[in-house]
Structure 1
Amino acid sequence: MRTRVDVFESIFLVFLGLGTLVGIVVIAYTMYNAYKYRDNGDAKDDDTLPTVGELPTGGKGGKKLFLSFGISAVIVISLVVWTYGMLLYVENPEDDFEEEPIDVEVVGDSFAWHFEYENGVQQSGTMNVPADHPVAIEVTAGDVWHSFGVTDLRVKADAIPGEYDETWFIAEEAGEQHEIECFELCGDLHSDMTGTVEVNDMDGDEFEQWLDDQLTLDITIETHDEEAITNVTDENIEVQLVHQNNDEYDADLEYTRDADDFDDEGTVTIDEIEQGGEYELLIEFEDDEFDTIEDTVEVTSPASETYTVGDEEEEDDDEDENGDEDDDDDEEETDDDETDDGGDDE
């Protein structure tokens, strides 16, 4: 499949070749006529030559003019039709895609570029794409007018608040990085509004798996003294994670875990999340030893959350009581020592 770079390079080379050829022909013909009809000082007696003030009566010159205009018209019209067909391919190549494109929404906002993939994974500054695979993007803006552009990939799309401009590209070479720029004067930090297209050495399926792997959530539960929950209780723990817009998706975006899923560090991992976004998190303890935890977490990239359970005041009281007992013991030991010392003195 042809890339945007291939298309625009083809158009450039065709125009360059034809322009060079026409230029050579025109200059050569001009030089030939300049030499042929040069003034060498010899007057010629020719009744067919017009005199001063007399209009030419025509002849072979008219045929040459008609021929030159005809050839020029054919060349120009052919170029227009061919170029228009190439640009139509650039504008709407979906029928020619050999693979399903990767969909990415691009948002220009606050002098930075933000990217969201179809499964909800979000990135800022860097857009990861697979090598030699079509990428379809929708470009918009969150504040003022911007213009998304990647010169190396011949990509440019307006970013206008409330509107979406669609375009596409294919990055062929794995390991390369292409600079993203803003081509619309958008404010004081316009020149700093840059980003990177990073081309990964993956095929389409591998990249889809990589995107799925980005949606993971690690949940750690510990006490105030940073001791893992698995070391302080044997009761069952139920963890429930539900997408806020679960009803809008075909898949059931609800995930549960229990105490058996926690490791020795008091951490449980949810790694089969299918769609990024905001989730409602509920953590319940079977015997009500600890308070129920309710929270809203955003999972748009690898995330981790740590929750502290237990009553900090009670722990402090326990520590104080233990400290007071130790102090009493120390005082008793000190009194005994003083008594012993006094007896020895007598």
Structure 2
Amino acid sequence: MPLLEPDPRSLRPRGRREPSPDRVPDRLAGGTPEPLRSELIALLGADKVCWKVSDLVRYASDASPYRFVPQAVVVAEDIDDVSAVLSYAHGRGREVVFRAAGTSLNGQAQGEDILVDVRRHWAGIEVLDDGLRARVLPGTTVVRANAALARHGRVLGPDPASAIACTVGGVVANNASGMTAGTTRNSYRTVSSLTFVLPSGTVVDTGDPAADEDLAHAEPRLCEGLLALKAEIEADAELTARIRAKYAIKNTNGYRLDAFLDGATPVEILRGLMVGSEGTFGFISEVVFDTLPLDRLVSTALLFFPSLPAAAAAVPLFNEAGAIAVELMDGNTLRASVSVKGVPAD
């Protein structure tokens, strides 16, 4: 079989060179344009605003195949910085995207306006109640959080494959789960409380007993709208049943509409809606998780079935038996793995 490599000669430029399709737009060649640059520096300080074209290019890519060059990059140090940026953007009709580890494959950590880096100053975990709960900052990796919890025999529910690099803020914002979380151990089911900043700059701590009173005072229209949507959904029995059925399985997308059914107050509804909202509702600055027991002894089995339908039919039985994760590999996948060094031919 011939090697699937390009002919080196075909990579050489021929004739007139055309501009690279992914070059920085001319309007950003000098870095962040005015007056955006000056206004952000006046708002936050020069040390928190990355405006050079090299900075913009550095933040233009993440783990996805997409590339979007931001107009400015802000390195937020605390919740006051985030609130100030959101309030500024809200008043000027600008867009804000938050970026932590940037491990998602779908481009959520990219934007073409103001990009806020919330990885550098946002790491830390506080173990609560002897490990039963954990207060985690959004720039903390899942591995770091689990390492702190391991001594207490506890672990976070979400278990994404990129746990060594992905951060808790992105995990909650994407409702990440991983192989072992399913629909019962994911972020939505294991988040106890959230602290977040709304687009207006309002800060909400859902664990504060006075949170609903404070939110009603700061955002009365938002509270009225959330309760109106809740009433509309609950008045429609067919819609309610459809929502419940939708989120009983894992392969769903869109906002967590079941938050309107699970939450009794505007703050409780918002707590659910923030999970999986991908930053479109606000910035999550702190998460308190209800942790789960750490299974120190585990076993794994490799089982063979005569057909894919037979294997799929066995999955509910595995779940009933207490299996944490079940992965299906078809014959083509297994045959391809034989070429890997160390894998037995049978």
Between the two structures, name the one with larger relative contact order (CA 8 Å, sep ≥ 6): 2
Scaled to the shorter chain, the TM-score interval is: under 0.3
The structure where strand makes up a greater share of residues is 1
